[in-house]
């Protein structure tokens, strides 16, 4: 005899095969929802926030390639984010390139070059040294951007004009607002979805498995012949490059970038917090974290005013101390525990295998 | 000729001044990481809050007593009150949050102390605002000391003296005192403390006290020299880290050399390269990490 509640419980807690199928439905639904946003939500503020969420979701998921999959914490991702943004801004200003699909590869290239160099230096170490080395090198970039004011505009930053998309100047055609919430919004959705799919495929491949092996036990991985340092370097390059994509999207959205908005350590910190908040164990966990973070930020800044850093600190501390798997997994755990309290819930044991997570 | 000499002299004094401050900032972190295996990013906050507290105290105390005795009393008062206050703060943080973070893995320690840093930073901003706070009344008290054709800031000399005293005290501590020997043993074998019948908890408190006092005194000197504002915390974190990395974790000798290097690079960098001096410090750190990852002093050497 099958109790209805058992089915519900089985679905939620133990029956991962069924969840996995449902998950694809969920993803498709989400993408459809994203496409519908500009039509459903007329309030531009929320469209703006959705764009930010998408951009930082990508940055956070890319960041997680290093933390969740390879076990490396980086405090310097602003270098890739801001580096790509500045590359695009400078290319527009000095090389006169205006086409989005030419500028995006330039931005990615900049981020890739930076991650190759910074990664090469940083993977000599792990843990603290890696994290703070990335921070120091990113800060070096910040200082350079700040100082070379004749080229980069210094602390006042540099304006980023609106790009042409596939040769068409939509701003001229539709006006700025319609371009932003219409054309550019969909561009962001498209780029972010494609990037996430690519990243996901990478992480599912043997490359991703190798990274996870390194995270689990680097010594053992080394002893079975995996060149650990080399793969950590590759992970940094992948992570940095995809973060760069987010940086390019950010540059065009913001219209104006400064060292403080794109290269500063707080940007690195925010990306890290988003990833951890949402959960580093799941591929899309950091994306959820970006959503949670930006929504909380919107409301927190209304209540707490200028002391948002304090709130961020509390959130991060709470997650580190209590919800170490992040909000998503923590919720899952709490839900299954709550269901345990109900009678007649004879559920299958919860799978703790990391492979099962997305 | 005399002009070149005197301008070089003031540069050297400046460099030594910065070196002393950076040593006090960085060695505490190095010590904490070496003996307790705890990477506390919020260590920079102790330095920063020490600076703010010193300025606040300076406002209170200066002018109450005059003459040389007045100067001495004020300085002694500040040198006593600020480290004690900050050490107490560190004890509170230790018992509530830091000890729990110490039990977690390294990324969690980094993230957790990073969070504490955020919390402390905004708390400081709540109390003192975003402007630059100076402690001129304290540095004016020390005036300037004429040397030959030029004069040298009394505050800088004071910093250097404090730095030397700190180094001396630490050396004596490590070679003679019981706690010094325990700390040296700890870095090699963390379990030995509990096995040999030593009160581990008390030792932990002592290590925190030493580490935080160094940072607080460093902050005191910093504000007297440069003034303090909230945007500087990152610089402090990175400077402390640079001292630790370049000098070698736990190495007193290494930290001294690292601090001197940073002091001179920064001072001459500011003079001749303007603006890029921090970038050069980070470059040196990167080079050291590539060439000799254990730092100048080597790991766990005293």
Assembly ipTM: 0.85
Give yes or no for a contact between B102 and B38, defined as CB atoms under 8 angstroms apart.
yes
- Tokens (6 digits) for A37: 């946003």
Q: What is the pLDDT of residues B123-158, one digit of tens each?
A: 999 999 888 888 887 877 777 777 766 778 888 888
Q: Which among B110, B126, B242 has CB closest to A128?
A: B110
Inter-chain CB proximity B234 and A265 less than 8 Å: yes
Q: Which among B101, B123, B278 has CB closest to A143?
A: B278
Average pLDDT, chain A: 83
Give yes or no for a contact between A158 and A90, defined as CB atoms under 8 angstroms apart.
yes
B103 contacts chain A (CB < 8 A): no
Inter-chain CB proximity B108 and A139 less than 8 Å: no
Q: Mean of the pLDDT values across residues B60-83?
A: 79
Residues of chain B with pLDDT > 70: what percent? Answer: 93
Considering only CB atoms, which residues of chain A are within 8 Å of chain B? 67, 71, 73, 75, 121, 124-125, 127-129, 131-133, 135-137, 139-140, 143-144, 146-147, 265, 269, 272, 276, 306-310, 312-317, 320-321, 324
**B58 has pLDDT over 90:** no
**Could you tell me which residues are beta bridge partners of residue A164?**
A99
Inter-chain CB proximity A133 and B122 less than 8 Å: no
| pLDDT class of A1 with cuts at 50, 70, 90 | very low
How far is A23 from chain B, CA to nearest CA, in Å?
30
| pLDDT class of A14 with cuts at 50, 70, 90 | low
CA B292 to chain centre: 24
Question: Looking at chain B, which residue has its C-alpha nearest residue A140?
Answer: B279
Inter-chain CB proximity A314 and B289 less than 8 Å: no
Q: How many CB contacts within 8 angstroms connect chain A with chain B? A: 117
Cα–Cα dist A353/B251, whole Å: 42
Q: Please tell me which of A131-135, A296-300, B116-120, B297-301 the model is most confident about, judged by mean pLDDT.
A: B116-120
- A-chain CB neighbours of B107 within 8 Å are 67, 71, 73, 127, 131
Give residue A192's pLDDT. Answer: 94
B241 contacts chain A (CB < 8 A): yes
- A-chain CB neighbours of B122 within 8 Å are 307-310, 313
B175 contacts chain A (CB < 8 A): no
Q: Which among B33, B111, B242 has CB closest to A320?
A: B111
Cα–Cα dist A277/A64, whole Å: 12
Inter-chain CB proximity A320 and B121 less than 8 Å: no
**Could you tell me which residues are beta bridge partners of residue B153?**
B144
Q: Which among A143, A306, A317 has CB closest to B279?
A: A143
**A236 has pLDDT over 50:** yes
- B-chain CB neighbours of A152 within 8 Å are none
Q: Which residue intervals of chain A are DSSP H helices?
A: 4-9, 16-40, 44-64, 78-94, 100-122, 127-147, 149-152, 170-174, 176-178, 185-204, 206-216, 218-223, 228-254, 259-262, 265-278, 285-303, 308-321, 326-340
Q: Please tell me which of A172-181, B99-108, B193-202, B211-220 the model is most confident about, judged by mean pLDDT.
A: B211-220
- Determine how β-strand A256-257 pairs with β-strand B144-147: unpaired
Give yes or no for a contact between A212 and A67, defined as CB atoms under 8 angstroms apart.
no
Q: Tell which phi-psi region holds residue B124, choosing left (phi > 0), alpha (psi between -120 and 50) or beta.
A: alpha
Residue of A71, A123, A133, A320 for testing the chain B interface, max B β-carbons within 10 Å: A320
Place of tokens 């990167």: B286
Average pLDDT, chain B: 85
Inter-chain CB proximity B111 and A316 less than 8 Å: yes
How far is B157 from chain A, CA to nearest CA, in Å?
30
Residue of B98, B107, B128 for testing the chain A interface, max A β-carbons within 10 Å: B107
B127 contacts chain A (CB < 8 A): no
Give residue A346's pLDDT. Answer: 47
B273 contacts chain A (CB < 8 A): no
C-alpha distance from residue A36 to each of A40, A190, A251, B214 (Å): 6, 13, 24, 58
Q: Does residue A305 or residue B58 have the better pLDDT? A: B58
Q: Tell which phi-psi region holds residue A154, choosing left (phi > 0), alpha (psi between -120 and 50) or beta.
A: left
Lowest-pLDDT range, A182-196, B154-168, B274-288?
B274-288
| pLDDT class of B215 with cuts at 50, 70, 90 | very high
Q: Which among B33, B104, B286 has CB closest to A137?
A: B286
Q: Does residue A5 or residue A204 have the better pLDDT? A: A204
């Amino acid at each position: 005899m099958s109790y209805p509640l058992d089915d519900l419980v089985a679905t939620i807690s133990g029956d991962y095969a069924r969840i996995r199928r449902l998950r694809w439905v969920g993803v498709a639904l989400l993408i459809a929802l994203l496409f519908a946003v500009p039509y459903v939500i007329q309030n531009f503020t929320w469209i703006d926030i959705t764009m930010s969420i998408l951009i930082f979701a990508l940055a956070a998921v890319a960041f997680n390639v290093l933390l969740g999959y390879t076990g490396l914490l980086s405090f310097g991702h602003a270098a890739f984010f801001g580096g790509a943004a500045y590359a695009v801004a400078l290319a527009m200003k000095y090389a006169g390139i205006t086409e989005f699909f030419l500028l995006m590869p330039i931005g990615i290239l900049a981020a890739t070059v930076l991650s190759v160099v910074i990664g090469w230096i940083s993977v000599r170490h792990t843990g603290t040294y890696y994290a703070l080395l990335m921070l120091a090198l990113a800060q070096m970039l910040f200082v350079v951007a700040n100082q070379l004011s004749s080229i980069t505009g210094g602390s006042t930053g540099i304006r980023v004009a609106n790009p042409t998309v596939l040769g068409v100047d939509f701003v001229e055609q539709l006006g700025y607002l319609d371009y932003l919430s219409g054309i550019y919004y969909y561009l962001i959705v498209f780029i972010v979805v494609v990037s996430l799919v690519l990243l996901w495929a990478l992480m599912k491949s043997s490359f991703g498995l190798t990274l996870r092996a390194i995270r689990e036990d680097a010594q053992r991985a080394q002893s079975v012949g995996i060149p650990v340092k080399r793969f950590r370097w590759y992970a940094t390059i992948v992570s940095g490059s995809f973060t760069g994509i987010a940086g390019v999207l950010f540059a065009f959205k913001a219209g104006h970038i400064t060292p403080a908005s794109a290269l500063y350590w707080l940007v690195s910190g925010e990306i890290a917090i988003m990833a951890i908040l949402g959960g580093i164990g799941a591929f899309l966990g950091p994306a959820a974290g970006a959503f949670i973070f930006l929504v909380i930020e919107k409301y927190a800044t209304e209540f707490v005013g200028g002391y948002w850093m304090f709130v961020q600190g509390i959130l991060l501390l709470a997650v580190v101390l209590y919800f170490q798997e992040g909000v998503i997994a923590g919720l899952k755990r709490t839900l299954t525990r709550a269901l345990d309290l109900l009678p007649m819930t004879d559920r299958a044991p919860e799978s703790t295998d990391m492979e099962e997570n997305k | 000729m005399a002009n070149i000499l005197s301008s070089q002299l003031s540069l050297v004094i400046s460099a030594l001044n910065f070196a002393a401050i950076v040593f006090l900032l960085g060695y505490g972190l190095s010590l904490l990481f070496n003996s307790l295996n705890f990477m506390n990013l919020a260590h920079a906050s102790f330095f920063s809050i020490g600076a703010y507290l010193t300025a606040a105290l300076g406002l209170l105390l200066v002018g109450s007593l005059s003459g040389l005795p007045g100067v001495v009393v004020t300085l002694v008062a500040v040198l006593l009150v600020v480290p004690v206050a900050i050490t107490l703060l560190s004890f509170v943080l230790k018992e509530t949050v830091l000890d729990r973070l110490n039990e977690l893995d390294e990324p969690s320690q980094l993230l957790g102390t990073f969070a504490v840093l955020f919390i402390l930073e905004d708390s400081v901003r709540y109390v003192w605002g975003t402007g630059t706070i100076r402690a001129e009344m304290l540095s004016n008290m020390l005036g300037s000391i004429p040397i030959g054709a030029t004069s040298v800031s009394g505050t800088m000399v004071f910093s250097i003296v404090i730095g030397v005293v700190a180094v001396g005290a630490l050396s004596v501590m490590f070679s003679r005192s019981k706690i010094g020997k325990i700390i040296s043993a700890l870095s090699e074998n963390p379990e030995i403390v509990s096995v040999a019948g030593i009160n581990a908890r008390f030792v932990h408190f002592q290590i925190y006290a030493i580490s935080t006092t160094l940072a607080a005194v460093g902050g005191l000197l910093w504000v007297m020299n440069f003034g303090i504002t909230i945007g500087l915390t990152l610089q402090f974190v990175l400077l402390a880290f640079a001292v630790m990395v370049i000098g070698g974790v736990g190495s007193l000798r290494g930290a001294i050399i690292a601090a001197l290097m940073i002091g001179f690079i920064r001072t001459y960098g500011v003079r001749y390269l303007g603006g890029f001096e921090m970038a050069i410090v980070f470059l040196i750190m990167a080079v050291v990490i590539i060439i000799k990852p254990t730092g100048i002093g080597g790991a766990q050497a005293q």
